[in-house]
Amino acid sequence: RNATAPAVFLQLKKKKKKKKKKKRCVNSASFIQDSEVPFHVANLDDLHQKHIRWLRTLPRVKPFYAVKCNSTPAVIRMLSTLGTGFDCASKGEIELVLSLGVTPEKIIFAHTTKPQSHIKYASTRGVDMMTFDCEEELLKISACHTRAKLVLRIAVDDSKSAIKLSQKFGTKPSVVKKLLERCKELDLEVIGVSFHVGSGCTDSLAYRQAIEDARHVFDTAVLLGFQMKLLDIGGGFPGNEGFQIQFDEFSKVINEALDEFFPADSGVQVIAEPGRYYVDSAFTLAVNVFAKKVVMDDVTRIRVMMYYISDGVFGSLNCLMYDPAHTNVAPYLHRKRYRSIIWGPTCDSLDRVTATYWMPEVQVGDWLLIDNMGAYTVCCSSDFNFFDKADIYPVLSAQTWNMFNLS
């Protein structure tokens, strides 16, 4: 199995001699045989392993999981059990997280431009920590959430990231002082600074530079009489199967920068808002091949297999369109391969999952599995044409279940 790339792999056809055993012990096997509805398996043990790695590698940084990345309740519950906080971007995300038993002080409302009704809701539910990056937001907050603990989001260099966020969010350095003075005038409490180096970051030094930028803002704040105590280093961490090396490299740079600019004895609490990191590798998508055509390529005269699968770019595979950090799926079974085109189920020709993809021939009724499908997939999925959205089946080992007494 190719561990470095997101993978599509084949479910081999069930062998007749194993039929009897399967019938006796696994009801879900017959369910899968009869159904064509796509489904994810959400491996909650994987979240646990990721969390252990986080604690070991970034011991000074408390993770606040970015709910926007994948709001599956089983994921939120598991992370809550593990003790993470949560980054919520809207009233709906706050509602969800609170309904699953998370307490308000474990939530940061990390959207700098919020509808007023969402700020009011946060206020009534005791969610006080929230980000801002402009004066207009301060006016809304001072009108409906006077207890807010504000975190100033700054724009940072995100040029090495697949998804750039600093054009849309974050204060420019030249505006910081004026904005903090405005907070003073409005008698608002500012507790810290946040940034996001962009999702799908490829350069560890982006974190170093951003942490240094945040230090300058802290220094400006001290001169204005603020006692800042929180640094939020955002998201951007890798989460798929090849993530370890890059994550370790990022962590080394972050730890060194924190020690240099925010040493442990500075009393500054450091948090982060990882999304992709926690969920990407935990989800595997199973899709049914419900139709097939064999055609001849007009130019090369090569036989091309076209498969029509039960999920596509209007469903979980929307990440192929909307997530520049997730641009392809790749096979790992070593059998004779054919050039294959994989189409999603809808009647829209935009719904193409792969254009040129070499893989062993499969038959109608077979299942394809797609790894690393946790981040920014189910959260944006639609049922366009009324095709079923993928179901989600969380799984957990007995060992982890018992460890956290989850009954």
Q: Which residues are catalytic?
A: 347
* Window contacting ligand PLP (CB under 6 A); options: 40-48, 230-238, 332-340, 365-373: 230-238
Give 107 or 287: the residue with its C-beta nearer to ligand PLP: 107
* Window contacting ligand PLP (CB under 6 A); options: 259-267, 270-278, 316-324, 380-388: 270-278
Compute the least distance from the CB of residue 202 to ligand PLP, in Å: 12
Compute the least distance from the CB of residue 195 to ligand PLP, in Å: 9
Q: Where are the beta strands (DSSP E) in 261-310?
A: 269-272, 283-296, 303-309
CA distance 44 to 63: 17
Task: Summarize the chain as % helix, strand, coil (round to 5).
Answer: 40, 25, 35
Taking CB under 6 A as the criterion, the residue among 6, 63, 85, 235 binding ligand PLP is 235
Q: Quickly list DSSP for 211-262.
A: HHHHHHHHHHHHHTT----EEE-------STTHHHHHHHHHHHHHHHHHHHS
Q: Quickly list DSSP for 302-346.
A: -EEEEEEES--TTTGGGHHHH-TT----EE---S-EEEEEEE-SS
Taking CB under 6 A as the criterion, the residue among 93, 137, 273, 366 binding ligand PLP is 273
Give 351 or 371: the residue with its C-beta nearer to ligand PLP: 371
Give 288 or 377: the residue with its C-beta nearer to ligand PLP: 377
* 234 forms part of the interface with ligand PLP (CB under 6 A): yes
CA distance 369 to 11: 7
Q: What are phi and psi of 35, to 5 degrees?
A: -100, 155
Number of residues this chain uses to bind ligand PLP (CB under 6 A) = 16
Cβ(310)–Cβ(11) below 8 Å = no
* Window contacting ligand PLP (CB under 6 A); options: 3-11, 122-130, 228-236, 313-321: 228-236
CA distance 153 to 172: 9
Give 231 or 359: the residue with its C-beta nearer to ligand PLP: 231
Return the residues of window 64-123 that contact ligand PLP according to CB under 6 A.
66, 69, 87, 110
* Window contacting ligand PLP (CB under 6 A); options: 16-24, 37-45, 222-230, 271-279: 271-279
Compute the least distance from the CB of residue 105 to ligand PLP, in Å: 18
Taking CB under 6 A as the criterion, the residue among 109, 226, 237, 262 binding ligand PLP is 237
β-pair type (283-296, 367-370):
antiparallel
Cβ(40)–Cβ(286) below 8 Å = yes
By Cβ distance, which residue is nearest to ligand PLP? 235
Give 113 or 117: the residue with its C-beta nearer to ligand PLP: 113
* 199 forms part of the interface with ligand PLP (CB under 6 A): yes
Give 72 or 199: the residue with its C-beta nearer to ligand PLP: 199
| C-alpha Rg value of the chain to the nearest Å | 24
Compute the least distance from the CB of residue 90 to ligand PLP, in Å: 12
Give 61 or 289: the residue with its C-beta nearer to ligand PLP: 61
Give 199 or 372: the residue with its C-beta nearer to ligand PLP: 199
* 236 forms part of the interface with ligand PLP (CB under 6 A): yes
CA distance 165 to 144: 27
Compute the least distance from the CB of residue 178 to ligand PLP, in Å: 23
* 164 to 193: interface string for ligand PLP, x by CB under 6 A: -x----------------------------
Cβ(51)–Cβ(278) below 8 Å = yes
Sign of the CA dihedral with 256 first, then 259, 261, and 267 last: positive
Amino acid letter, residue 153: R
Taking CB under 6 A as the criterion, the residue among 40, 48, 51, 196 binding ligand PLP is 196
* 274 forms part of the interface with ligand PLP (CB under 6 A): yes
Amino acid letter, residue 89: A
Structure-token pair, residue 123: 């206020």
Compute the least distance from the CB of residue 85 to ligand PLP, in Å: 12
Q: Quickly list DSSP for 43-89.
A: EHHHHHHHHHHHHHH-TTEEEEEEGGG---HHHHHHHHHHT-EEEE-
* 276 forms part of the interface with ligand PLP (CB under 6 A): yes
Which residues of this chain interact with ligand PLP, rule CB under 6 A? 66, 69, 87, 110, 165, 196, 199, 234-237, 273-277
